[in-house]
């Protein structure tokens, strides 16, 4: 008997909206007296040996089991409110793994609660539940290529006690750990010259890409701008960090910095030394210093060529 059919039978036993009745006399037969799994197993296989004529104790007529199964399979969708996000699914999906928390909740073993609109309410991360629900539907873990919240998803899977999902996450985490140990960093750069009076200002643009999200976040936290005496963050949205983009004006004179105001140009600095980044060479040196102090070992130091600087690291801590 297939797992899905067994689960369906268990749910019918507990959540059927009406008890089975004798076809002939209409007398209700208590659900707990009927082994739906055995009946449906024989119906599914075409056998008719154990229950040649499953009858009630009054008129011994055949049970109306087909109607109950039909009512179950055609049941209305279930609406879930998970942390404020609404999902629509089925009872079969939620009880795919009976030993999980969701399986227990929607088989009647654990209590459930509803919001003001009548949706089943679960106070967990609504965004992560999307991946959990898809796993319940297909038994496959499908994540975006740039997915960066494995720890959070693992905590949610652990809360719902979905063991096959936890095993799938462990396999992915082991693969990610191997990839994270070897990190490549690409610094793509260009510059433009601007004439302001008797001065020539170079505006430098860099974009930093890396196979290590940890290295990107580390670099993102160290650089900042100054403009008109104010300190401004140079960071990116850390929730979706794919690369770092920076732009600054090269200058070593305070007279030139006063002219920045009319052009909205900013100077770039690095913490904790608060050193101003005078040129691209200094910037690359600071990137290397930050990476090494953060636990990344540099394999080699390439020359700063036109267009792209490629650095190879190994994360050792």
Give the model confidence (pLDDT) of 290-299 as tens digits.
999 988 888 8
Rounded distance between C-alpha atoms, residue 272 and residue 247, angstroms: 20
DSSP letter assigned to residue 114 = B
| Sheet containing 85-89, strands listed edge to edge, beginning at the edge strand earlier in sequence | 85-89, 78-82, 120-122
pLDDT value of residue 199: 74
**Domain 78-161 maps to which CATH number in 3.30.710.10, 3.40.50.10490, 3.10.450.50, 3.40.50.150?**
3.30.710.10
Rg of the chain over all Cα atoms, to the nearest angstrom = 32
Name every residue whose Cβ is closer than 8 Å to that of residue 260 and which is 6 or more positions away in sequence: 227, 249, 251, 266, 267
Least confident of 57-61, 80-84, 200-204: 57-61
Cβ-based neighbour number of residue 32 at 10 Å: 9
pTM of the model: 0.45
- Return the DSSP state at 50: S
Share of the chain above pLDDT 90, in %: 37
What rounded mean pLDDT belongs to the chain? Answer: 76
Cα end-to-end span (Å), the chain = 50
Q: Evaluate if residue 22 carries a pLDDT over 70.
A: no
pLDDT range class, residue 75, cuts 50, 70, 90? low
Given this model, what pLDDT does residue 52 score? 40
- Round to whole Å and give the CA distance between 208 and 246: 8
Give 108-115 contacts, CB < 8 A, sequence gap 24+.
Answer: 108/14, 108/15, 115/81
- Domain spans in the chain, listed from the N-terminal domain onward: 3-73, 78-161, 184-315
Share of the chain above pLDDT 70, in %: 66
70 Cβ contact partners less than 8 Å away, ≥ 6 residues apart? none
């Amino acid at each position: 008997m297939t797992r899905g059919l067994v689960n369906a039978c268990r749910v019918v036993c507990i959540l059927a909206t009406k008890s089975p009745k004798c076809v002939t006399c209409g007398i209700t037969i208590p659900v707990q007296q009927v082994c739906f799994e055995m009946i449906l197993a024989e119906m599914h296989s075409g056998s008719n040996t154990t229950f040649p004529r499953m009858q009630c104790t009054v008129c011994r007529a055949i049970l109306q089991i087909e109607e109950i199964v039909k009512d179950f399979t055609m049941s209305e969708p279930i609406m879930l409110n998970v942390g404020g996000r609404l999902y629509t699914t089925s009872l079969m999906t939620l009880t795919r793994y009976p030993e999980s928390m969701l399986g227990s909740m929607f088989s009647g073993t654990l209590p459930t609660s509803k919001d003001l609109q009548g949706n089943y309410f679960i106070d967990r991360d609504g965004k992560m539940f999307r991946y959990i629900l898809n796993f319940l539907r297909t038994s496959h873990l499908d994540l975006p290529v740039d997915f960066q919240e494995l720890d959070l998803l693992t905590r949610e899977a652990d809360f719902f006690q979905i063991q096959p999902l936890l095993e799938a996450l462990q396999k992915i985490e082991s693969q990610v750990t191997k990839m994270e140990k070897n990190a490549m960093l690409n610094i793509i750069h260009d510059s433009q010259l601007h004439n302001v009076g008797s001065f020539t200002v170079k505006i430098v643009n860099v974009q930093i890409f890396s196979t290590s999200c940890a290295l990107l976040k580390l670099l993102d936290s160290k650089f900042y701008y100054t403009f008109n005496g104010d300190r401004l963050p140079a960071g990116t949205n850390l929730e979706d960090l794919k690369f770092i983009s920076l732009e600054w004006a090269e200058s070593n004179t305070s007279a030139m910095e006063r002219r920045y105001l009319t052009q909205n140009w900013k100077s770039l600095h690095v913490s904790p030394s608060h050193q101003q980044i005078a040129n691209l060479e200094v910037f690359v040196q600071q990137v290397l210093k930050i990476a090494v102090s953060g636990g990344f070992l540099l394999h080699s130091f390439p020359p700063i060529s036109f267009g792209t600087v490629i650095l190879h690291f190994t994360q050792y801590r």
